[in-house]
Amino acid sequence: MTTTVHDPVCHMDIDPATAAGTSEYNGKTYYFCSLGCKKSFDKDPEKYLNNDEHSHNHSSSMG
Q: pLDDT, tens digit, for every residue of 1-60? A: 679 999 999 999 999 999 999 999 999 999 999 999 999 999 999 999 986 444 444 444
Predicted local distance difference test score (pLDDT) of residue 25: 97
CA distance 21 to 33: 7
Terminal C-alpha separation, the chain:
45
CA distance 5 to 63: 37
Predicted local distance difference test score (pLDDT) of residue 31: 98
Residues 41 and 48 sit within 8 Å (Cβ to Cβ): yes
pTM of the model: 0.75
Long-range contacts of 23-26 (CB under 8 A, 24+ apart): 25/49
